[in-house]
Amino acid sequence: MARLARFEFPFWFYCAAFAAGSGWLQTQERLPDAAWLWILPLAAGVLLLPRARRQGYELARQGGVLLLVGALGFAYTAWRAEQRLAERLPAAAEGADVGLAGRVSGLPQDTPWGQVFDFDLAAGQALGLRRVRLSWYAPRDVEPAPRPFRAGQEWQLTARLKQPHGQLNFTGFDYEAWLLQHAIGATGYVRAQPAPQLLASQGAGFLAALDATRERVRKRILAVLGEAPYAGVVAALVVGDQQAIPPWQWRDFNRTGVTHLMSISGLHVTLLAGLAAALAAWGWRRVPALALRWPAHKVAVVVGFASALAYSLLAGFQIPAQRTLFMLAAVAAGLLLARRPPAFSLLGMSLLVVCLFDPWATLAAGFWLSFGAVAALLWVSEGRVGRLAALKGWVLAQAAVTLALAPALLMLFQQVSLVSPLANALAIPLVSWVITPLALAGGLVPGLSASLQWAQQLMAWQGGLLHVLADWPVLVRPQPHAPALVAALAGVLWLLLPRGMPARWLGALLLMPLLWPEEERLPQGHFAATVLDVGQGTAVLVRTAHHRLLYDSGPSYGESDAGERVVLPALRAAGALHLDGLVLSHNDSDHTGGAASVLRDADAGWLLTSVPVQAQGAWPAPRRLACVRGQHWRWDGVDFAVLNPPSQAYREARSDNAMSCVVKISSGGQALLLTGDAEQRAEGEMAAQLPARLASSVLLAGHHGSATSTTPAFLAAVRPARVIFSAGYRNRYGHPHWRVVGDVRRAGAAMHRTDRDGALRLDFAPAGVAVASAAERRRRYWQLGR
C-alpha cells in the first residue's frame, strides 16, 4: 500500500492535459467570459489536498490536478486569443485606404500578377494592427513585371484593407484560422497611388536580417537551378519556402505520404544536429589543450543544438522544427547536466513549450502528424527488451508510424496512402541523409553550387518513382465521427503493444468503425445539394440515393484551383472520389477552373457542357455531351432536366454566359434551379418558352447576383422560396448587386450567401427543404464577420 501512496501520473500526462485544454479552446464558438477565471484559484485547492494511501483517493487527487492543468491551458489560450483578436482590423475600416509603415516579413511570394507578402507594422500605427497580408499588382504595361518588395525592407505605402476572411466549407482548410495563427489582422492590396516609398533596404533588428538572409539564400538556389523541375523542393528543404513547389508535385507527395519530407521535418533537423555534433567532437579531440579544458562530448552537444537552432530559424521555425528543437534543447540540457530524462517526458515538454509559444499550433494538421509520428516511434521502441536488427527495426518503425497516423489522416484529409510505407522507406534515407545535406551545403556556401545540382537531380530521380507510385490506389473514407476516432486510436495502441501481449488482434476490431463507417444514405426520391464556398465562382455537389453530380468546378486560383482545394476534399469527406456526371455550365474560368483537377483524381461517368471543344483543353473526361435543352434523366426517383441553351444557340453567335447550361433538379414537389451565368436573354427565353417548368423551391442566382441576371420577371416565373448567391467576399464586381438583392427581398424569398454563410447544404424532401450552413456547423470565435 505504501507504493500506492506514491502514485503519480507521468510528467507527460500533465503536458498533454495542458495541450488538450489549449486545443479545446480552439473548438469554441466564442471566447469565455473573463469572470469565469475566478474558478481557477478555487480549483487550485486540489494541490493542497494531502496524499493518502488509498488508491482510489490518490487517483482522484491526481486526476484533479490533471483537470486543473487542462483548465490552465484553456485559460492561457483564451487570454492569448483575446490579445490576438484585438489586433484585427475593425469592421468600420474595411474598404478604406490606410497609410502604413513597416517591414516586409518572411519571404514574399512572386505570382503571375505581382507579389503577396506579410507586412509587420511599425509601432504606433493606427487601427491597432500588428501584421497584415498584402497583394501588389504589377503594372500590365511594364515588361518584365517588377517585383519591388523584398524580405527585410522597410516601406511606407497605402493599402486598402479588409478583415481576415476565407472560404468556409464543411470540411477542409480554414484560411481564417491560418491567418489568426500567423497574427495577420487584415488582408488587402497596395494602392498604386500614392506610390509606395522604400524607407530602408534592410530594416533594423535580428528578424529583418534573418528574413533578408533567407531570401538571399532562396534567390541563389532558384538562380542556380533555374527551371529545373524540383528546384522548389530544394528551396523548401533549405529555407522552408514551399510556394515554388507546383501542384502536380504536391499531388504526388500527398498520394505517396511523403509530404512531411518536402519541408523542414524534425528528422532533417535532428540529422543536421547529429552531423554537426559529430564533426565538432572529432575536431575538438584533435586539439588536446581544448579537450582538457572542456570535454568534447559537451562541445558536441552545444554545437549540435546551435546548428539545429540555426537551421530551424533559416527554415522559418515551422511546427516540426519547433517540436524537434525543444526536444533537442531538453536532451542537450540533460547531457550537459549528466541527466537523462525519459523520452516521453522530452516529448511532453516539447508539446508544452509549443503550446505556450504558439497556442494556435493545434489548428495545424502538422501539429498532430508531427507529434503523433514521434509518439508512435517512442511507443514501439521505449522500454522494449532486446534490440532489433537494423532492417527489421526500420520496417517496424515505418509500419508503426503509418498505422498510428491513419486515424488522424482520415480525420484531417479523409484519405490514407496505401503505398506510404514503401515510399517513405525509400524516400526518407535519400531525402534526409543525402539530398538535404547537399541542398544546405549548396545553398549556404557559394562555391558549392554543384551540390545544388546534385540535390535537384537526385530529387528528380526520386520524383519520377513517386510519380509512378502516386497512381497506386489510396484509401478514401468519410470523415469519421468522434467515437470511431477514439476507438481507432485505442485499437492502434493495442496493436502496437510488444510481442507477447495477449489478444493484440483485438485492436484490429476497434479499427472497424473507422474503416467501414456507416454511410449516410438518402431515401429514394430525396436529394441533397451542397453549394460549396469556392469564392467568386460556382461549384454545387448534388447527391441522390446512389448517384452524384457536380455542377461546375469553381475558379482557378493561379497556381491552384477550387477543384484541388475545395471540390476534391468535399468528395473525400463524402467517402469516395466518384462522380456519375459532371456539368460545366459554360466557358468561364470561375466555373471551369477546377475541372482538370477534379477529372484527374475523381472518376466521372460523363461530362455535359456547352464549352466549345477547342476550349476544353486536356480535360481527361470520358464521354462528352453537348448541353441542350430537352435533355432529361432520372436517378433514384429524382428528375434532372436541361432548360438552356436551346439547340439553335450553337448555330448563333451567343455569349458564353448566354450558353450557360441551366439544370433543374426536382422531386416530390421540391426543386433546385441551377442557372450558371445565364443573363437576361436566356432568362427571358426560358420564361417565355418554358413558363410551367421554371417553378423551383430554391434558385442559385445567375452570374453570382450580377445586375445582368435574376430579373424581376424571371423571379416571378421561378417563384423561389430561397435564393442563393455564390460570390466572393467583398469581390471587385460588387456581387450580389443591390438591385438584385432588393428584387429578391420584394419577392419574399429568403437569401443565403456563401461569402457570409460559407458552404450551404440543402436537403430536399417532400415535406420541404432543410438548410444548414458551414458558418453554423463550424462556427469558431475568430469568425467575427459571419
Cβ atoms of residues 553 and 608 within 8 Å: no
Q: Are 264 and 316 in contact (CB under 8 A)?
A: yes
pLDDT of residue 7 exceeding 70: no
Q: What is the pLDDT of residues 523-576, one digit of tens each?
A: 999 999 999 999 999 999 999 999 999 999 999 987 789 999 999 999 998 877
Say which residue, 42 or 697, is predicted with more confidence: 697
Cβ pair 577, 571 in contact under 8 A: yes
Backbone phi, psi, residue 780, to 5°: -135, 160
- CA pair distance 571, 558, nearest whole angstrom: 22
Average pLDDT over residues 631-637: 96
Lowest model confidence (mean pLDDT) among 85-94, 133-142, 637-646: 133-142
Give every CB contact of residue 485 below 8 A, 6+ residues apart in sequence.
Answer: 407, 411, 514
45 has a pLDDT exceeding 80? no
Structure confidence at residue 5 as a pLDDT band (50, 70, 90): very low
pLDDT above 50 for 4:
no
Whether pTM exceeds 0.85: yes
User: What is the per-residue pLDDT for 356?
Assistant: 93
What is the mean predicted confidence (pLDDT) over 736-740? 96
Tens-place pLDDT, residues 349-371: 889 988 999 999 999 888 888 88
Task: Assign 321 a pLDDT band (cuts: 50, 70, 90).
Answer: confident
Per-residue pLDDT tens over the stretch 403-442:
888 999 999 888 899 898 889 888 888 998 899 999 999 9
Q: Examine the pLDDT at 316 and tell me if it is beyond 90.
A: no
- Residues contacting residue 314 through CB under 8 Å, at least 6 positions apart: 210, 213, 214, 217, 238, 239, 240
If one compares 620 and 76, the residue with the highest pLDDT of the two is 76
| Whether the predicted pLDDT of 702 surpasses 90 | yes
For residue 384, the model assigns a pLDDT of 58
Top mean pLDDT of 215-219, 263-267, 371-375 is at 215-219
* Residues 468-493: tens digit of each pLDDT: 999 888 888 888 888 999 999 999 98
- DSSP H or E segment with residue 159: strand 154-162
- Residue 388: pLDDT band (50, 70, 90) is low
> 292 pLDDT exceeds 60?
yes
At residue 274, the pLDDT reads 86
Inform me whether the pLDDT recorded for 116 exceeds 60: yes
Q: What is the band of 208 on the pLDDT scale with cuts at 50, 70, 90?
A: very high
Q: What is the mean pLDDT of residues 714-743?
A: 95
Q: What is the pLDDT of residue 515?
A: 87
Mean pLDDT of 51-77: 79
Q: Encode 276-302: b = buried (16+ Cβ within 10 Å), e = exposed.
A: bbeebbeebeeeeeeeeeeebeebbbe
Which triple of cell numbers denotes residue 242?
514551399
Task: Provide the pLDDT for residue 42.
Answer: 62
Q: What percent of the chain has pLDDT over 90?
A: 56
CA angle 410, 415, 416 (to 5 degrees): 90
Are the CB atoms for 130 and 87 separated by under 8 Å? yes
> In the predicted model, what is the mean pLDDT of residues 729-750?
94
The predicted-structure confidence for 247-279, as pLDDT tens digits, reads as follows 889 989 999 988 888 777 777 888 888 888 889
- Assess whether pLDDT exceeds 90 at residue 179: yes
Mapping DSSP onto H, E and C, the string for 528-572 reads: EEEECCCCCCCCEEEECCCCEEEECCCCECCCCEHHHHHHHHHHH
Mean pLDDT, rounded, for 752-758:
96
Cα separations in angstroms, 334 against 1, 242, 302, 327: 33, 34, 12, 11
Task: Evaluate if residue 334 carries a pLDDT over 70.
Answer: yes
* Comparison of pLDDT for 332 and 684, the residue scoring more: 684
Q: How far is CA 425 from CA 66, 74, 257, 261, 428, in A?
A: 38, 39, 11, 12, 6
Is a pLDDT exceeding 50 seen at residue 627? yes
For strand 186-190 and strand 131-137, is the pairing parallel, antiparallel, or unpaired? parallel
Look at residue 113 and tell me whether its pLDDT is greater than 90: no
Beta strand pairing status for 670-674 and 698-700? parallel
Helix (H, G, I), strand (E, B) or coil at 694: coil
pLDDT higher than threshold 70 for residue 49: no
Return mean pLDDT, the chain: 88
Cβ atoms of residues 722 and 703 within 8 Å: no
Cell digits for 587?
A: 466557358
Per-residue pLDDT tens digits for 72-96: 999 999 999 999 999 999 988 999 9
On the question of pLDDT at 173 being above 50, the answer is yes
Report the distance separating Cα 413 and Cα 118, nearest Å. 28
pLDDT at position 262, please?
79
- Beta-bridge mates of residue 189: 135, 160
Residue type, 259: T
Across 502-525, average pLDDT? 87
- Residue whose C-alpha is closest to residue 533's, from 731, 766, 299, 307: 731
Q: What is the pLDDT of residue 2?
A: 43
Assess whether pLDDT exceeds 80 at residue 37.
no
Instruction: Write the CA distances from 340 to 297, 337, 381, integer angstroms.
Output: 15, 9, 16
Give Cα 521 distance to the centre of its chain: 28
How far is residue 571's CA from residue 127's CA, in Å, rounded to a whole number?
41
Sign for the pseudo-dihedral over CA of 147, 152, 154, 156: positive
**Residue range 122-151: mean pLDDT, rounded:** 86
Are 18 and 73 in contact, with CB atoms under 8 Å apart? yes
Percent of the chain with pLDDT over 70: 94
Phi-psi region for residue 265, left (φ > 0), alpha (ψ -120 to 50) or beta? Answer: beta
**pLDDT surpasses 60 at 612:** yes
Tell me which residue of 155, 162, 159 sits closest to 176, measured CA to CA.
Answer: 162
Residue 544 contacts residue 635 (beta carbons within 8 Å): yes
Q: For residue 43, what pLDDT band results from cuts at 50, 70 and 90?
A: low
The whole-number pLDDT of residue 399 equals: 81
